[in-house]
């Protein structure tokens, strides 16, 4: 399941994307926070990490 949300921290507006899952009795998260001004770059990086993540 992917959670997407926005929040404000010290007056700065952020976007966040979080992927959580369980494998072999352990929980994992892949997440990012980003400013809307760099959204395309941030999501490309997030997707590369997500797609290359391997549970060992």
Per-residue pLDDT of 7-32, as tens digits, reads 999 999 999 999 999 999 999 999 99
Q: Which has more confidence, 51 or 1?
A: 51
Which has the closest alpha carbon to 48: 22, 24, 30, 35?
A: 30
pTM above 0.75, yes or no: yes
Number of domains, the chain: 1
Domain that holds residue 18: 2-52
| Alpha carbons 21 and 12: distance in angstroms, whole number | 29
Is the distance from CB of 30 to CB of 19 less than 8 angstroms? yes
What is the predicted pLDDT for the residue at 7? 95
What is the predicted pLDDT for the residue at 36? 84
């Amino acid at each position: 399941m992917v959670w997407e949300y926005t929040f404000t921290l010290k007056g700065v507006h952020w976007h966040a994307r979080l992927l959580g899952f369980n494998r072999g009795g352990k929980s994992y998260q892949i997440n990012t926070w980003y400013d809307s001004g760099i959204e395309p770059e941030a999501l490309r990086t997030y997707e590369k990490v997500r797609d290359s993540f391997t549970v060992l």
